[in-house]
Amino acid sequence: MNPRDAMFENIRRQVKEKLTQNAVVRFENAKRYLIQATMDHPISRELDSGLGATNLPYGTLRGFFGFSDGSSAVNALINFLEDNVTIEQGVSSNKRGLINMYIRLPSKKDFNDNLKCDWEDPPEQSWVTLVEDGISNLENYLYSTKRELGRSREGIQVKGVVKEGSEFNGVAYMSEIISNFRRIVVQGK
């Protein structure tokens, strides 16, 4: 390789390293946002504490989903996101020096496979999906603050209708957070 070509190859390599480093920094900033936004979301706060419950007509999402005392659905979600939101550099044989970076985000199927509702028989959907899509059997939820009922000690599912017409239409939760994550990765904001 002649000196001129060697110089250009060295510059190309340095630029590629810097661009890769910048992409990884942008990804890491976006991932920090993703985790913090998940922890701060009103749905997450209600799931972890039950306090400030405003998402259901009565009772709490924590009680409805039957998360047992001492468990944290949000910690399980955070661990899942930590493991399943990743970045990889693709192999490129392009002589123009293009860099391919691949960001892997969990799909609805990934959420359903990893964060299933224990009480579903068989468990097919995650509580994340139910929060997003809505809960149809809320009218069968018997909520009680006076008695400790069920795993959550807040209520149980019953066969009869407790509150006819009660429903939860769903809330943009992870879809909104992931959409914002994508915007931060692309725009850096």
Q: How many CB atoms lie within 10 A of CB 135?
A: 20
Across the chain, where does the E strand assignment appear?
Answer: 86-89, 101-104, 141-143, 155-157
CA distance 79 to 89: 23
For residue 121, give both structure tokens.
Answer: 């028989």
Structural domain count, the chain: 1
Give the predicted TM-score (pTM) of the model.
Answer: 0.78
- Could you give the CA distance from residue 114 to residue 102 in angstroms, rounded to a whole number? 22
Going residue by residue through the chain (189 aa), what tens digit of pLDDT does each one get?
888 888 888 887 888 888 888 888 889 999 999 999 999 998 898 888 755 555 665 667 777 777 766 678 899 999 999 999 999 877 665 666 667 788 999 999 999 999 887 665 556 788 899 889 887 766 666 566 665 655 555 655 657 655 665 666 788 999 999 999 999 988 876
DSSP state letter for 134: -
Q: Which candidate, 157, 156, 138, 134, places its Cα nearest to that of 147?
A: 156
Phi, psi angles (nearest 5°) of residue 103: -105, 125
**What range does the domain containing 164 cover?**
3-187
